Amino acid sequence: MGVAAMAQTSEPGRATGDSLLSNRWLILFFSVLSMVAVANFQYGWTLFVPPLQKALHAEQAAVQVTFTVFVLLETWLVPFEGWLVDKFGPRLLVIAGGILAGIGWVGAGNAQTLTQLYLTYAVAGIGAGVVYGTAIGSALKWFPDHRGLAAGLTAAGFGAGSALTVAPIANLIQSAGYRTAFINWGLVQGAVVVIAAMFLKAPPAGWLPHTWKTSPKGETVKQRQTAVEFTSWQMASTPQFWVMYAVMTLVATGGLMATAQLNPMAVDFKVDKIPVHFLFLTMPALQFALSADRVLNGLCRPIWGWISDHIGRERTMAIAFTLEALAIFLLIKFASDPKLFVVFSAFTFFGWGEIYSLMPAICGDFFGRKHATQNYGFLYTAKGTASVLVPIGSALAAGKAFDFRADILLAIGGALAVFAHFIAPTVLRLNLTRKMHDSLFYIGLFIVAYGIFLTVVPAAWTPFGAKFTMPRLGWAGVFAVAIVFDLSAAAISFLVLRRMKVPEAPTAREPAPEAKPAAVAAH
């Protein structure tokens, strides 16, 4: 049976599709594969930090700005990329994302200065963001009946995708140099994404699985579900969205600090090269930890997603965030023991990675699935907001001077733009004039743009320096901040978000959102 089978019907109002290329599980598999291929762009980064410091004669904090630039571009452009996916379909966008990601790593392998490294890794960030946003959006659209599980499996590709490649990349860096590793793996991973993209497609309009029931009391609908399809503008005008955004920012901050700093932390505690034995495996502690982290970071996403499908998103979030805080505490307490360093770093990732399955799922629950790619794209920018704190973690650990200009500007500009465009006129119902609204919004965007510019160019090129010497809190201080963030997110999830109603009507002064189609279904 051909792909055209998607258009057949077996019952009135029920679209069916049972051809191989129309099978949603096969589409999910290739979505996961594309995520696996871009996982190293984030999770393999820590392997390159020490050789980059040496080759570019740069301090760790300066090299880690690369990671911040990557995450900013990977996250903050996803809303726009989501709009492109809805317009042109997932296949074309993921092909473009794979090409950009590959070019980014090849370029990083040829970078001779920090500025060149920032720019090439920014290209990789754009490509990885296209792949990530498209894959998660596809899972939400194809699996409204198993949102947590499907989003978890897709996100697991990103979280665990680097588990099998950590050792080969580390060995290649050691034997042939980091430049060769960047170039070779950039070409391979970009090609895998392009191949996987050939099998991606969007569900037809009005499609729903044959097990789906539209009644709020239907047996298969176990989560709170909105009855309308919110656009991104309407979603951003609700207090529920901003509570989700705060929760994701808090948890992502601690997790990104751990992701980017694991290598230097292991070196500081002198456990990085100590052999660790487990079953038939023997590896240096750092390499073992990186592999175990990727596995647990991937496994946690479908596991927590499946749990949330049964006991509720908010309860699951509260449990997972609390467990992560406990794991971080035990990690810093026993970091000098190589075996326990491996164990507790892995469980830290097990409690952190679930935000990338639970947050897209709850976003779909609250705001519908038609605009799921773009809507989650806006929520996913919380990861970019959190990323600006990663270099601060390095400075806190070492007690070195840190340039706050970019971070301050990004925070002020972003807050001003969000306040003017969303919170003031809708959530707070302030009666701003059109001129005042536009002025505040565009001033905020300009400040954000200048803040991004400051993260890329050398400090000597820009005026108004703002360097401060951070107190040397050490790793205990850095991870204490992460623990506070995790516990705060757990409390907000359980005490605030769980008590909020699913929005059933927009608060923005816009036409009402379209209702979900009454008819339903397909395989």
pLDDT of residue 259: 63
pLDDT of residue 399: 54
pLDDT tier at 193, thresholds 50, 70, 90? very high
Q: Mean of the pLDDT values across residues 286-293? A: 83
pTM beyond cutoff 0.85:
no
Q: How many whole angstroms separate alpha carbon 478 and alpha carbon 329?
A: 11
Q: Mean of the pLDDT values across residues 446-455? A: 59
- What CA dihedral angle connects 138, 427, 226 and 377, to 10 degrees? 0
Q: Mean of the pLDDT values across residues 164-189? A: 89
pLDDT of residue 104: 93
pLDDT at residue 518 is higher than 50: no
DSSP secondary structure of 496-510: TGGGSPPP-S--SSS
DSSP secondary structure of 291-344: HHHHHHHHHHHHHHHHHHHHH-HHHHHHHHHHHHHHHHHHHHHSTTSHHHHHHH
- Cα separation values, 476 from 169, 253, 482, Å: 30, 16, 10
Q: Mean of the pLDDT values across residues 368-373? A: 80
Closest CA relative to residue 301, chosen from 155, 160, 161: 155
Q: How many whole angstroms separate alpha carbon 334 and alpha carbon 340?
A: 6
pLDDT of residue 470: 45
Look at 516 and 284; give whichever has higher pLDDT.
284
Q: Are 414 and 452 in contact (CB under 8 A)?
A: no
Do the bridges between strand 467-469 and strand 401-403 make them parallel or antiparallel, or are there none, so unpaired?
antiparallel
- DSSP class of residue 45 equals G
pLDDT at residue 18 is higher than 50: no
Q: How many whole angstroms separate alpha carbon 34 and alpha carbon 38?
A: 7
Q: Is the dihedral of CA 458, 459, 464, 468 positive or negative?
A: positive
- Cα separation values, 395 from 313, 392, 400, 471, Å: 35, 5, 5, 8
272-276 contacts at long range (C-beta below 8 A, 24 or more positions apart):
274/338, 275/338, 276/338, 276/339, 276/342
Q: At what angle do helices 114-142 and 90-110 cross, to 10 degrees?
A: 160
Closest CA relative to residue 41, chosen from 109, 92, 93, 95: 109
Q: Mean of the pLDDT values across residues 380-389? A: 77
**Mean pLDDT lowest among 175-184, 355-364, 418-427, 441-450:** 418-427
Q: Mean of the pLDDT values across residues 101-108? A: 93
pLDDT of residue 319: 93
Q: Is the dihedral of CA 159, 165, 170, 172 positive or negative?
A: negative
Q: How many whole angstroms separate alpha carbon 346 and alpha carbon 9?
A: 47
Q: Are 51 and 173 in contact (CB under 8 A)?
A: yes
Burial of 480 (0-12, 13-18, 19+ CB in 10 A): middle
Q: Mean of the pLDDT values across residues 67-81? A: 82
Look at 281 and 8; give whichever has higher pLDDT.
281
Residues 140-174 have pLDDT tens digits of 888 877 778 888 888 888 877 777 787 788 889 98
Of the segments 69-73, 454-458, 470-474, which one has the largest average pLDDT value?
A: 69-73
pLDDT tier at 297, thresholds 50, 70, 90? confident
Residues 391-440 have pLDDT tens digits of 666 666 555 544 545 555 555 555 555 555 555 555 445 555 666 656 66
Residue with tokens 């516990």: 487
Q: Are 305 and 361 in contact (CB under 8 A)?
A: yes
- Structural element, H or E, at residue 283: strand 281-284
How many C-beta atoms surround the C-beta of residue 133 within 10 A? 30
Residues 244-256 have pLDDT tens digits of 988 998 888 877 7
Q: Domain extents for the chain?
A: 3-217+225-400+470-499, 401-469
Q: Mean of the pLDDT values across residues 100-128? A: 92
pLDDT at residue 460 is higher than 50: no
Q: What is the CA radius of gyration of the chain?
A: 22
Look at 282 and 443; give whichever has higher pLDDT.
282
Residues 464-506 have pLDDT tens digits of 444 444 445 566 777 777 888 888 989 998 888 888 887 776 6
pLDDT of residue 471: 47
Residues 343-365 have pLDDT tens digits of 988 888 888 888 888 998 898 88
Residue with tokens 């935000």: 355
Helices (H), ranges, 215-275: 232-235, 239-268
pLDDT at residue 386 is higher than 70: yes
pLDDT of residue 20: 46
Q: Mean of the pLDDT values across residues 42-51? A: 86
Residue with tokens 């001129």: 435
pLDDT of residue 277: 82
Q: Mean of the pLDDT values across residues 43-64? A: 86
pLDDT of residue 190: 92
pLDDT at residue 98 is higher than 50: yes
pLDDT tier at 187, thresholds 50, 70, 90? very high
Q: What percent of the chain has pLDDT over 70?
A: 71
Pick the CATH number of 3-217+225-400+470-499 from 2.60.40.420, 1.10.357.10, 2.40.420.20, 1.20.1250.20: 1.20.1250.20
pLDDT of residue 519: 42
Of the segments 180-184, 386-390, 412-416, which one has the largest average pLDDT value?
A: 180-184
pLDDT at residue 29 is higher than 80: yes
Q: Are 520 and 10 in contact (CB under 8 A)?
A: no
Q: How many whole angstroms separate alpha carbon 143 and alpha carbon 151?
A: 9
Instruction: Annotate 383-421 with three-state secondary structure.
Output: HHHHHCCHHHHHHHHHCCEEECHHHHHHHHHHHHHHHHH
pLDDT of residue 180: 93
Q: Residue 501 is which amino acid? A: K
Q: Are 328 and 393 in contact (CB under 8 A)?
A: no
pLDDT of residue 271: 84
Burial of 339 (0-12, 13-18, 19+ CB in 10 A): middle
Q: Are 487 and 322 in contact (CB under 8 A)?
A: yes
Do the bridges between strand 281-284 and strand 401-403 make them parallel or antiparallel, or are there none, so unpaired?
unpaired
